[in-house]
Structure 1
């Protein structure tokens, strides 16, 4: 009997620890990309999907990319046919949902690139959340469409 209790205790311990180890996977960043910019550009726009499969809202509070001096969360607002950008302190992702950062909506502005990033390049980034979770990911540089260039060119 004691042998069974020990085995069940070990199984419970390892199952619980495995669950805790994978808890961070309930919060993911997918399809992260960066629009290629002209050679003189000091600002680039990044897009991605933040997937929150957790039972509570998560807030992205900071993002850092190795090849940029700073990153800011922004939202494109359209008022009376005029688009404007608003800085966002945090990005709130509801429980069991995803937030798409895309052209014309929420996005990340990256300032002062260390070098010119061309289509196909990758740059390492990390996003920090209010609960202390940090997710590391790569942004893949893609050719920008003409609407993306004109959309972000006034930053």
Structure 2
């Protein structure tokens, strides 16, 4: 019985530590697209209020076939998107995703996405110590922010 108690207590401690790392969320929204759009973009500001560096390493959404973090860059006068596999946030730093810059690229929607809906997106993080955790955020679908 003591072994089970220690195991459960250890899991609770790990869970509490991970919840201390979860960034605060501000201004989450998903840009509505035209009917039958194959790609949409979501935006959010994340603030790391923990004492550790945390790194955004990916995103998932059951509403889409594929989800990636992208950055829009100008290369020789042409705008291109590049996947971002790791975006570190030091303690006290924020990461802003906004039109024309960083964004969550949502591809191959599994159903129509319309203004007024809310889409659930899960962000995946890691710490320098190898801890992994997720954060699920509700993104309201809007025409513009």
- For the superposition of Structure 1 and Structure 2, which TM-score range results when normalised by the shorter chain? 0.7 to 0.9
- Structure of greater Rg: 1
Q: 2:19, 2:60 → 1: CA distance?
A: 23
User: What do the CA deviations read for 1:88-132 (whole angstroms, capped 9, x no partner)?
Assistant: 112222221100001111111001111111111001121110131
**Alignment-derived partner of residue 38 in structure 2:** 42
Q: Normalising by the residue count of structure 1, what TM-score does the alignment of the two structures yield?
A: 0.74
Query: Are residues 1:98 and 2:94 paired?
Result: yes
**1:22, distance to aligned residue in structure 2 (A):** 5.0
User: What do the CA deviations read for 1:21-67 (whole angstroms, capped 9, x no partner)?
Assistant: 75145x22322111001112111011101111122221111211121
- The answer to whether the 8 Å contact 1:28/1:135 transfers is no
Query: Are residues 1:132 and 2:128 paired?
Result: no
Match of 1:63 among 59, 63, 67: 59
**1:20 to 1:85, Cα distance in 2 relative to 1, 3 A:** closer
- The answer to whether the 8 Å contact 2:18/2:133 transfers is no
Q: Normalising by the residue count of structure 2, what TM-score does the alignment of the two structures yield?
A: 0.78
- The answer to whether the 8 Å contact 1:29/1:135 transfers is no
Matched residue count: 129
**1:20, distance to aligned residue in structure 2 (A):** 4.2
Query: Are residues 1:120 and 2:116 paired?
Result: yes
- The answer to whether the 8 Å contact 2:49/2:93 transfers is yes
Secondary structure of the 1:66 match is coil
Gaps of 5+ in 2: 1-12
